[in-house]
Structure 1
Amino acid sequence: MELLLLAIIALCSGIVGALVGLGGGVILIPATLFFGLEIGLFPDITPQRVVGLSVVMMIFTGLASTLSYVKTKQIDFKSGFIFFIGSIPGAMLGAYLNKNLDLPSFNLYFGILLIVLSTLLLVRDRLKPIHWFVNHGMKRHFIDKNGIEHEYGYPIWFGIIFTFFVGIISGVFGIGGGSLIVPAMVLLFLFPPHVAVATSMFLVFLTSLVNSASHIYLGNVPWGYTIPVIIGAYVGAKLGAALNKRLNSKTVVILLQVVMFLMGVRSILEGLFNK
């Protein structure tokens, strides 16, 4: 029963993760902590072990999503590899820092992070486009299914430095970095939302390989839970990527914002009142 529940949680994580570019940890981590510690189904779960489980899951979420997005040519592979360069040392450092967090602190900081990010997306349409990064960096172009050409870009040095910090957050909280990198792509670098999500999932796949290696080394992966999570996440990511193709860009951004806000509020309440 417990393993079936984990598979269902991972399925939902995969769907949401691939749909909005989060990687799925934003669903898996709070849900597993809730059922594991509050309900008592997984009493051996800790913040460190659930993060280890999440980063292993995201290897397969990222892989399934990447394979789906390759077919629609929405992934900016060049940007993905550039961002990966900065993410490698950041993910390793974040995995090391994670071991110092207790459960209330983890929930509190995790929730604050998600609230900040969802707020950025909420005011996105009211913000003036920031063209500095595009005008002073490497320019990229994408032609969408309607034949409209989009120009976006960023200075390579800034992309590497930024993703170093994204990697730290990913290593600490096990959320794949997508919740940071997608808003940055959309708000700062002017990525079309669908390209941002697809490229984020490619980056999630790459960084999760490094992240998993770090957490395996630290002994944070609960291997008995990995099989149902991997299967559920892989299937969910396929479904989420397919659904992403059917939605317009504005819908994708709204979904991203709502998911992060709701999970952020819950996580903050857990951190404040369950000590």
Structure 2
Amino acid sequence: MAFLLLGLIALCAGIVGALVGLGGGVILIPATLFIGLELQFFPDLTPQRVVGLSVIMMIFTGLSSTLSYMKSKQIDFKSGLIFFIGSIPGTMFGAWLNKSLDLPSFNLLFGILLIVLSTLLLVKDKLKPISWFIDHGTKRTFIDKNGIEYEYGFPIWFAIVLTFVVGMISGLFGIGGGSLLVPAMVLLFLFPPHVAVATSMFMVFLSSLVNSASHIYLGNVPWSYTIPVIIGAYIGAKFGSALNKKLSSKTVVMVLQVVMMIMGIRSVIEGLL
């Protein structure tokens, strides 16, 4: 029963992660901490082991999404590889920082992060894109299925600095960097939203390989729990990628905002008390 429940959590994380480009860790980690530690379904899981489980999941969420988005040619591989270069040292540094966190500190910091991300998702549609970065960087074009042409771009040095920070947060908390990177790609670099989500999931896949290697080395991966998570996440990501091509993600993002805000406030309270 407990493993089935873990698989269902991973399924939901895969669907939401692939649909809006988040990677799924923001769903898996708080849900697993609550079910595993508070409800005592998995009493042997520590925050570090839950993070290790999350980064393993994101390999398969990212792989499933990438294969799906490749068919629709939504991924900007060149930009994704540039972002990956910056994220490599960031994810390794974040994984190293993770080992010093106890449960109250993890809950407090992770709760603050969830609240910030929820707020960012809430206001991102009200923020105006900044054209400075595209005017002072490499430019790219994308033509969607309706024949509409988009121009976007970024200074390579800024993209590497940004993805180092995103990678560090990803390594520290075990979440997909897309929760920070997608809004930045849309608002700062003027990426078409569907290209931003697809490219983000490609980068999530690559960075999760490095992130998981770091956590495996640190002994943070609970291998006995990985099978239901991998299966659930892979299937969920396939479904989420298909939904991304057909549906508007506004409703899902709104629900995600509410869930993240509630989980964030709850984690902060637990961390403080």
Same topology, TM > 0.5: yes
Asked if 1:28 is matched to 2:41, the reply is no
Is contact 2:48–2:98 with CA below 8 Å preserved after alignment? yes
Is contact 2:24–2:58 with CA below 8 Å preserved after alignment? yes
CA distance in 1, matches of 2:205, 2:90: 15
What letter corresponds to residue 218 of structure 1 in structure 2? L
Is contact 1:194–1:249 with CA below 8 Å preserved after alignment? no
Aligned to 1:91: 91
CA distance in 2, matches of 1:267, 1:225: 23
Is contact 1:193–1:252 with CA below 8 Å preserved after alignment? no
Aligned to 2:142: 142
- Indicate the SS of the match to 1:152: strand
Task: Give deviations 1:62-82, integer Å, cap 9, x for gaps.
Answer: 000000111111111111000
Aligned to 1:38: 38
Question: Matches of residues 65-80 of structure 1 in structure 2 within 5 Å?
Answer: 65-80=65-80
- Indicate the SS of the match to 1:221: coil
Aligned to 1:14: 14
What letter corresponds to residue 145 of structure 1 in structure 2? K
Aligned to 2:238: 238
Question: Matches of residues 182-201 of structure 1 in structure 2 within 5 Å?
Answer: 182-201=182-201
TM-score, normalised to structure 1, is: 0.94
CA distance in 1, matches of 2:246, 2:265: 29
Percent identity, please.
81
Q: Specify every segment of 5 or more residues in structure 2 that has no aligned partner in the other structure, as ranges.
A: none
CA distance in 2, matches of 1:70, 1:260: 29
What letter corresponds to residue 88 of structure 2 in structure 1? I
- Indicate the SS of the match to 1:13: helix
Query: Compared with structure 1, are the counterparts of its residues 240 and 176 closer, same or farther at alpha carbon in structure 2 (3 Å cutoff)?
Result: same
Aligned to 1:157: 157
Shift, 1:251, TM fit: 5.2
Is contact 1:3–1:225 with CA below 8 Å preserved after alignment? yes
Is contact 1:138–1:154 with CA below 8 Å preserved after alignment? yes
What letter corresponds to residue 221 of structure 1 in structure 2? V
Is contact 1:20–1:256 with CA below 8 Å preserved after alignment? no
Query: Compared with structure 1, are the counterparts of its residues 239 and 249 closer, same or farther at alpha carbon in structure 2 (3 Å cutoff)?
Result: closer
What letter corresponds to residue 87 of structure 1 in structure 2? S
CA distance in 2, matches of 1:175, 1:97: 14
Asked if 1:179 is matched to 2:179, the reply is yes
Is contact 1:193–1:253 with CA below 8 Å preserved after alignment? no
Query: How many corresponding residue pairs?
Result: 273
Aligned to 1:223: 223
